[in-house]
Amino acid sequence: AQKVTQAQTEISVVEKEDVTLDCVYETRDTTYYLFWYKQPPSGELVFLIRRNSFDEQNEISGRYSWNFQKSTSSFNFTITASQVVDSAVYFCALRGGMDSSYKLIFGSGTRLLVRP
Amino acid sequence: ETGVTQTPRHLVMGMTNKKSLKCEQHLGHNAMYWYKQSAKKPLELMFVYNFKEQTENNSVPSRFSPECPNSSHLFLHLHTLQPEDSALYLCASSQEVGGGGNQPQHFGDGTRLSIL
């Protein structure tokens, strides 16, 4: 069975603080893909990043960085110098590579509130 | 502008009404999806269409009826809904090649549905 756990339901930080959103996944597939999405109050899910299971390099994009560790089945997301506009719900998602159904398994999401 | 447009943005209907949700994608993708997002529950995949053919029905009640006339348009026909069907309904699309599963899904803003 595939599962994504985001243990942090809600995080509140003050602007300019760094914040890390945790994501732990379970899968039996040897090839799989991990995603992060942002859902602002407007409702749409905005794609942030995709990671392949065979590529464990960490990635940085501006103030965003992702730490993928297969040994602990984690794919954590860090926002550096947070801003009020970062306030949103963030979802981690998993998709098995051998699954022919295109099913994307989402975590329950972490609500991030960045206060001025 | 996300490339995936959903209408209406908000819908209030009685349990005996019949209505339809519409989704249109302008990204040239070949797969489209319906998701349900309820309060305090993870995003739930409802239906998947690939090249207009339904490839997944995730045990959705028959009061939800999808229709995909072409790769750019997806409808969700609703009839005799229940109060627990009140939720945000999200449409997504992706460009799938075979069963790879590594392509990100791009989401619309969603339709917020309230059942009286």
Regions in chain A scoring below 50 on pLDDT: 100
DSSP A49: E
- So what's the pLDDT on residue A68? 94
A55 inside 8 A of chain B by CB: no
- pLDDT above 60: residue B100: no
Dump the DSSP string for B58-72. Answer: -S--TTEEEEEEETT
- So what's the pLDDT on residue A81? 97
Q: Which residues does B contribute to its contact with A (CB < 8 Å)?
A: 2, 4, 31, 33, 41-43, 45, 48, 50, 55-56, 58, 88, 90, 92, 94, 96, 99-102, 104-110, 112
Question: Which residue do the tokens 């959103």 mark?
Answer: A21
- So what's the pLDDT on residue A73? 95
To the nearest whole Å, the CA of B16 is away from the closest chain A CA by 27
Q: Mind listing the pLDDT tens digit for each residue in B4-44?
A: 999 999 999 988 889 999 999 999 999 999 999 998 788 99
Burial class (CB in 10 A: 0-12, 13-18, 19+), A43: middle
CA B40 and chain centroid, separation:
19
DSSP B105: P
To the nearest whole Å, the CA of A19 is away from the closest chain B CA by 22
A29 inside 8 A of chain B by CB: no
- pLDDT above 80: residue B99: no
Q: Which of A99, A101, A106 sits opposite B43 (nearest CB)?
A: A106
To the nearest whole Å, the CA of A17 is away from the closest chain B CA by 27
Cβ contact (<8 Å) for B108 and A44? Answer: yes
To the nearest whole Å, the CA of A99 is away from the closest chain B CA by 7
Q: How confident is the model at residue B114 (pLDDT cuts 50, 70, 90)?
A: very high
Cα distance between residue B98 and residue A70, in whole Å: 26
Residues 6 or more apart whose CB falls under 8 angstroms from that of B85 comprise B63, B64, B78, B113, B115
- So what's the pLDDT on residue B101? 60
* Rg value, chain B, Cα: 14
Q: Mind listing the pLDDT tens digit for each residue in B36-80?
A: 999 878 899 999 998 778 877 778 999 999 999 998 999 999 999
